[in-house]
Amino acid sequence: MHVLAWPRLTLKLLCTTFGYMKKTFETLAEVAAHVGQDVAVSDWLTITQDQINQFADATLDHQWIHIDPERAQSGPFGTPIAHGFLTLSLLPAMFASAFEIKQTRMGINYGLNKVRFTAPVPVGSRLRGHMHLMACEPIEPQGLQMTWRVTVECEGADKPVCVAESLVRHYA
d(CA 110, CA 86): 18
Q: Whose CA is closest to 100, among 22, 9, 10?
A: 22
pLDDT of res. 19:
57
Q: What is the residue-level pLDDT of the chain in tens, covering all 172 positions?
A: 333 333 333 333 334 444 568 999 999 999 999 999 999 999 999 999 999 999 999 999 999 999 999 999 999 999 999 999 999 999 999 999 999 999 999 999 999 999 999 999 999 999 999 999 999 999 999 999 999 999 999 999 999 999 999 999 999 9
Question: CA 78 to CA 88: how far, in whole Å?
Answer: 22
Q: Indicate whether 166 belongs to any domain.
A: yes
Q: Which domain holds residue 149?
A: 22-48+82-171
Total domains, the chain: 1
Neighbours of 89 (CB within 10 A): 15
- Are the beta carbons of 112 and 162 closer than 8 angstroms? no
Which CATH number do you get for residue 107?
3.10.129.10
Q: pLDDT value at position 21? A: 84
